[in-house]
Structure 1
Amino acid sequence: MTENTQKHTDIQHTLDKERLIANYNAYPPKWVTPTIQLSVWRPEDREHLFRYMNMPEIHLFLCGPPFPYTLEDSDFWIATAFERTSKNGTPLDLCLRDMTKGGQLIGSIRVADESDENLDGDDVGYWLAPEYRGQGIMTKALKLMLQELAIKEFGKRKFNAHTFVDNWSSRRILEKVGFVHQPGRETSVVKNGQTIKMWVFRMYLREEDMATREVVEEAVPLSALLDKQQRK
């Protein structure tokens, strides 16, 4: 048994469905659109995560996930995301869900709660299912999550981000959120034995920036979806 396999096995033993469900019920969702939610992970996400992480068009622009991706990898990720919280216990990893499909996982976002003066770390990470791209969903979701968690709750003002060079869709998302490309600071990552260059981005919010920064409002959910959720 490899060290990575042993790690997955150890995590699986802690992947308690009841704890995941209790955590899901404890944190109210945030509505990105009238049909799309941001909320914490839940047990049934493992199959959808498995399916999406095996899509080449998603894996192509992610640094970390193994390929091919297994259900054990899904369990490991969800258990790790469950444990990844701020100092006051707030979840730092949220899922994007299509509530017209019963809350099916369609993407995820993670943020950091501490400021980093260096440009070598990532304070945001995200992916979105191909069929939901080009609709502004990720841009608003990332703005909302940064605003409500990192900026308001944690008081974070300095952010770093990276994306593969020539991943223009991800670059546009970061720039719409407020990140600024750092020319000449490109870095690299080794993936599948190949060295891939990465753009570096920075967002530094001064007090004057906070005074003029756009306030992102949650969407009003479709009444039918809200009524259905309240009946659960």
Structure 2
Amino acid sequence: MTQDAVQGTEIQIKDHSKAICSAYPPKWVTPTIQLSVYRDEDREDLARYLNMPEIYSYLSGPPFPYTLEHSDQWIQTAYQRMSKNGTPLDMCLRDMAKGGVLIGRVRVSDASDEDLNGDDVGYWLSPEYKGQGIITKAVKMMLQDVSIKELGKRKFNAHAFVDNWASRRILEKAGFVHQPDREASVVKNGQTIKMWVFRMYLNEEDVGSREVVEEAIPLPSFVK
């Protein structure tokens, strides 16, 4: 590929990312915290967080050390992870009181209901914001608005490292149930780590009776 072609591709990607940011409005988790699509300028914050032991130690996928090139690849992949209706399946959490800085992420899956081998939800949050119910509500919102309502999913699969009780509580509050008869593991840094398996099965009655997670009203200063 020529240099001109490479530059043309980069411009096309940037234009695509701007279009996504403009087309998909944020979801307000709290009056100051929102779920929104990634921006190209998130690359440094993304790399900084995914090099924190408090975060990467509990994630099975990301490489370590996590470079800016990894961030770029992740952001471009996130732009491509859309539902058939064009809804982002991977969104980041931002603190608008601090200029919209990235503080976490939540993703959901559009995999078939019958495909329960992977994870239908994933998340992480800056240690500074833990214990405030932010990530729990964000997970519930993404499952409710995207997975259940838009995609029509009714069967879900999820994992957490054994003894990661914080992650287990998030999943259970979202409706997942631990499956003690199922075992799973992942190889991380050359070590085999055991994982808890969680499932959530919903029928139409369950969907109708689930708690409705209302979007927060943003502070007036954040409303354009």
Structure 1 residue 86: Cα displacement = 1.4
TM-score norm. by structure 2 comes to 0.93
Equivalence for 2:111: 114
Q: 2:46 aligns with which of 46, 49, 56?
A: 49
Contact 1:15-1:79 at 8 Å conserved across structures: no
- Residue 169 (structure 2) aligns with: 172
Aligned to 1:92: 89
| Residue of structure 1 in register with 2:196 after alignment | 199
TM-aligned CA deviation for residue 15 of structure 1: 7.7
Tell me the residue number matched to 1:3. Answer: none
TM, length-normalised to structure 1: 0.90
Which residues in structure 2 correspond to 1:44-83 (within 5 Å)? 44-83=41-80
Letter in 2 for 1:210: V
Question: 8 Å contact 1:15–1:75 — kept in the other structure?
Answer: no
| Aligned pair partner of 2:100 in 103, 123, 141 | 103
Q: Secondary structure at the match of 2:146?
A: helix
Letter in 2 for 1:224: S
| Structure 2 spans left out of the alignment, 5+ residues | 1-5
2:137 is equivalent to residue 140 of structure 1 = yes
- After superposition, the CA RMSD in angstroms is 1.6
Displacement of 1:120 in angstroms is 1.9
Question: Percent identical across equivalent pairs?
Answer: 72
Structure 2 SS opposite 1:47: helix
- Name which of structure 1's ranges 172-181 and 20-29 shifts more when overlaid on structure 2: 20-29
- Alpha-carbon shift at residue 103 of structure 1 (Å): 0.9
Q: Match for 2:152 among 146, 155, 159?
A: 155
Q: Is the 8 A contact 2:113 2:154 kept in 1?
A: no
Distance (Å, rounded) in 2 between the aligned partners of 1:180 and 1:14: 45
What does the per-residue CA deviation read over 1:140-172, in whole Å, with 9 as the maximum and x for residues that have no partner?
001011111111111111110001000000000
Runs of 4+ in 1 over 3 A off after TM superposition: 12-15
Gaps of 5+ in 1: 1-8
Against the structure 1 CA distance between its residues 160 and 45, is the aligned structure 2 distance closer, same or farther, given a 3 Å change threshold?
same
- On the 8 A contact 2:93/2:102 being kept in 1, the answer is yes
| CA displacement 1:76-110 (0-9 Å, x = unmatched) | 10011111111222211011000011111100111
Question: CA separation of 1:15/1:42 partners in 2, compared to 1, >3 Å: closer, same or farther?
Answer: farther
Report the 3-state secondary structure (helix = DSSP H, G, I; strand = E; otherwise coil) of the residue aligned with 2:40: coil
